[in-house]
Structures are given as C-alpha cells and as structure tokens.
C-alpha cells in the first residue's frame, strides 16, 4: 500500500496539466470560471481538442480509439480536467451509447457511428425516461412496430438532457407488449431530424434549459438501426448503467466547489470578521471536506479493484450517492454563505449577455446552482434506487 504516484504517473500528470494549460481556450475558461451557462459550441470545441490529442475516450478499448491508460492514469486525467474547470465531457455519446455499440452492435454499426462520436461531430441524447415511467424505467410505453424494413415509433420521452442540441438519440422502445415488461424492450438509434420528432424545452426551477420532452409521431426508423437483438434492450440498458462510472463521484468538481465556497466565505463579512472565521461555519466546512476526503479514498479503492479486473461493480452506487450528497451540500452552503445577495436573480447575466451582476461575482449564481443541483440525487437512477441496487446486488437482500 502506498499513496504516492509512480514516476511515470507523475510524468503523465505533468503532461496532462501542461496540455490543458496550453490548449484550453481562454474564452471557454473565462465562461466556465464565471459560472455562466455553457453553450454547445464550448463543449464541442473542447472535446475536439481532446479528440485531436487522442484523449477523448479513455474508457474505450484501444482498438476503437481508447487510450489504453491504467486506472490511475484515468483518475489523474479526470482530476486534472476537474482542477482546470474544463467543460465536462458529455457522456451520452462517448460514455453511454458508444460502449453499447462496440459491445453489442454490428461491424456495420461500429463503422457508421463510432467515428462521429469520437470526433464530437454527432451529438447524442438518451431516450430512457418517459412521462409515466420515472424510476420504474421498465414500464416504458414508447412503441416501435416493425413494418417491413422499418420500425414505426410512437410515444414520448422526457427529461431528455440537451436534446435541443442532439443530432441522434438512443432510445428504449417497446417492441413486444405480450411478454414480461423487461423482455419486450429494444434499443433503437435514430436521427433527431426524422419527420415526426418534436422537442419541447422543460425549464427547470433555477430558470435554465437543460432538459426536454421529446415526442415521436410515426417516426420511421430503418431496422438496421436496431442494436443487437429485438427484445434485448433492457439487457443493454443495464450494461450501460454499470459501465464507465469513473467520474460519477465528481470529486474534482466538488474540490473546486469547496475552493469557491471558501472564496465566498473569505469575502463575506459577519459581525465585522470574514465568515470563514465563524466557528459554526468552519465546523460545517470541515465536515464537508472530511466527507469528500472519505469519498475520494473510496473512489481510489474502487479504481484499485477495477485495475485488478474486478468491477466496476454495484459498489460504485456508493460513489453516486455520496458524490451527489456532497455536491448538493456544497451548493447548499454556498447559498448560506452568500447571505442576502443570494436573492438576486442574475438570469440574463447567466446567459453571458453582459448584464451587470447584482452583488459580488462569486455569489451571483449561488442560489441557481443550489436549485439546479437538486437534480443530482434524482437523475441517473435516484439515490433511493441506488440503495435498492446496493441492497440487492452487494448485500444480497
């Protein structure tokens, strides 16, 4: 046992750090550092930079464009991206549909879809949740009926993240209603520009537009867009959920969040002294930092198991639960730290439209971030569902 990075790992860390310093565009950095709402072009531009370098898909097997890095190297890469506050790599193409395609797809599908995912020329979205099926995903009702060499898709999806920017969707559809719920589901890919697809924004409580409703009205999908076998969609979906969970703990993001929180607490005055000197505040901050340290070491232990070929198992549900609890707690404390200026709704400034900010810059989006981060314990399988997973898969209950 040893906490030190090897000489090779340290050299790798330096290489990543230097690459980011030299190649992370200043305008995107400014936008992200100010906490403004990200734009599609920011994500795409940054992902293309990583793609050119060959670093866009560390989780993929080498033959398809992966990096062949060790678990420690992947961890270092995540840490460095997080520390530099780069745009997060959008998971829908690279981390979600791609592993399904290269694991269960045909040669033809791999050739057709993987290059566009790697180069970030094709933006994907995830068609899982439906208005009536929240955590009970298998109850989905969107129907695909085969007619000759086409499926006719009817139904709707919801909470579809960034569907407004998506070129393609990977979609769970019901192809058989006569069998057990889980056995009648298939995994379909289709073009979001297909006739019959409508996307409507859902504005979330902080005022942002991340998620959408998608309606499918007699959308025609060629049968060659079916992944694997008809009726096996649930198996592929479960595979996807268990895949590529690195980064799910968001440790680097939370470290940055705590640094920002400290900045706010240094600037805020309470009874003539900086808030950070208040014993109650310090105590809560210390608890948060300790929670995060524990999570970081739990993640490192998980990675160590993975590098021995074990996992990523259902244990990684811990990372999701603790990671989201900590992210939420940080934003919660930022609102507390901001005091009265948390009231100011700097909505237009958040778009980056040069509207002057009311109050200090560091607290300008504290409340919207807090409101927005409530999503983390709901999405990706709610934390209650994660506990069901651990109870069943780890504890054998």
Partner 1 sequence: MDFNYSDEQKLLIDSVERFVKDDYDFDTRRAIVKSEAGFRRDLWQQFGELGWLAVPFSEEDGGLGGTPVETMIIMESFGKGLVVEPYLSTVVMAGGLLKLGGTAAQKEAILPDLMAGGLIVAVGYAEPSSRFNLADVSTTASASGDGYVLKGHKSVVLHGPMADKLIVSARTSGDRRDADGITLFLVDAGAAGVSRQDYPTVDGLRASEVILENVQVSAADIVGPLGGGLALLDQVVDEAIAAICAEAVGAMEVLHKATLEYCRTRVQFGQPIGRFQVIQHRLVDMYMAYEQAKSMAIMANLKLDAEPAERRRAVSAAKVQIGKSARFVGQQAVQLHGGMGMTDELNVGHYFKRLTMIETLFGNTDFHLKRYAA
Shortest Å, Cβ 80 to partner 1? 15
Which C-beta is closer to partner 1: that of 9 or that of 213? Answer: 9
Distances (CA, A) of 227 to 19, 167, 195, 231: 37, 18, 21, 10
CA 163/CA 165 separation, integer angstroms: 5
Strands 197-203 and 209-222: antiparallel
> Stretches 215-223, 226-234, 283-291, 372-380: which one binds partner 1 (CB under 8 A)?
283-291
The only residue of 14, 238, 301, 348 in contact with partner 1, by rule CB under 8 A: 301
Decide: 336 and 22 in contact? Cβ < 8 Å.
no
Which C-beta is closer to partner 1: that of 17 or that of 143? Answer: 17
Overall residue count recorded for the chain in this entry? 397
- For residue 98, give the nearest of 197, 239, 275, 267 by alpha carbon: 239
Which C-beta is closer to partner 1: that of 106 or that of 293? Answer: 293
Show the binding pattern over residues 51-80: x = contacts partner 1 (CB under 8 A), - = does not: ---------------------x--------
Size of the site for partner 1 (CB under 8 A): 39
Shortest Å, Cβ 209 to partner 1? 34
Q: What are phi and psi of 221, to 5 degrees?
A: -125, 125
Q: Is 5 in the site for partner 1 (CB under 8 A)?
A: yes
> Stretches 147-155, 186-194, 260-268, 317-325: which one binds partner 1 (CB under 8 A)?
317-325
Distances (CA, A) of 118 to 51, 87, 161, 167, 334: 7, 16, 19, 14, 36
Q: Is 7 in the site for partner 1 (CB under 8 A)?
A: no
> Stretches 79-87, 112-120, 363-371, 381-389: which one binds partner 1 (CB under 8 A)?
381-389
Q: Is 6 in the site for partner 1 (CB under 8 A)?
A: yes
Residue appearing with tokens 């407004």: 164
Q: What are phi and psi of 174, to 5 degrees?
A: -90, 120
Instruction: Give the rounded distance of the alpha carbon of 52 from its chain centre.
Output: 22
CA 159/CA 126 separation, integer angstroms: 9
| Residues in contact with partner 1 by the rule CB under 8 A | 1-6, 9, 72, 282-283, 285-287, 289-291, 293-298, 300-301, 304, 308, 315, 318, 321-322, 384, 387-388, 390-391, 394-397
């Amino acid at each position: 046992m040893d906490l030190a990075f090897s000489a090779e790992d340290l050299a790798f860390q330096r290489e990543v750090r230097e690459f980011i310093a030299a190649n992370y565009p200043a305008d995107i950095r400014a936008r992200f550092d100010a906490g403004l709402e990200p734009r599609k072009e920011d994500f795409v531009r940054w992902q293309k930079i990583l793609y050119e370098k060959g670093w866009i898909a560390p989780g993929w097997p080498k033959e398809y464009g992966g990096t062949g890095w060790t678990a420690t190297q992947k961890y270092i890469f995540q840490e460095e991206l997080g520390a530099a506050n780069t745009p997060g790599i959008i998971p829908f193409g690279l981390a979600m549909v791609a592993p399904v395609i290269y694991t269960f797809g045909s040669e033809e599908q791999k050739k057709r879809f993987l290059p566009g995912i790697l180069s970030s020329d094709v933006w994907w979205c995830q068609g899982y949740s439906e208005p009536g099926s929240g955590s009970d995903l298998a109850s989905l009702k969107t129907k695909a009926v085969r007619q000759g060499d086409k499926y006719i898709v009817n139904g709707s999806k919801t909470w579809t993240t960034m569907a407004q920017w998506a070129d393609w969707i990977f979609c769970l559809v019901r192809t058989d209603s006569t069998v057990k719920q889980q056995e009648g589901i298939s995994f379909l890919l289709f073009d979001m520009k297909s006739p019959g697809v409508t996307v409507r924004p859902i504005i979330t409580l902080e005022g942002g537009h991340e998620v959408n409703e998608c309606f499918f009205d007699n959308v025609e999908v060629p049968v060659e867009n079916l992944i694997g076998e008809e009726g096996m969609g649930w198996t592929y979906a479960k595979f996807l959920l268990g895949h590529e969970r690195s980064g799910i703990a968001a440790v680097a993001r939370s470290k940055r969040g705590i640094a920002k929180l400290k900045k706010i607490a240094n600037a805020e005055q309470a009874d003539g002294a900086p808030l950070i000197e208040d014993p109650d505040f310090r105590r809560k901050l210390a608890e948060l930092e300790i929670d995060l340290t524990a999570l970081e070491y739990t993640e490192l232990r998980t990675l160590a198991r993975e590098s021995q070929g074990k996992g990523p198992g259902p244990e990684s549900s811990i990372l999701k639960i603790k990671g989201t609890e900590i992210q939420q707690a940080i934003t919660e404390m930022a609102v507390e730290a901001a005091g009265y200026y948390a009231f100011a709704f700097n909505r237009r400034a958040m778009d980056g439209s040069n509207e002057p900010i009311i109050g200090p810059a560091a607290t300008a989006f504290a409340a919207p971030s807090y409101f927005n981060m409530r999503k983390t314990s709901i999405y990706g399988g709610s934390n209650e569902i994660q506990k069901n997973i651990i109870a069943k898969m780890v504890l054998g209950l």
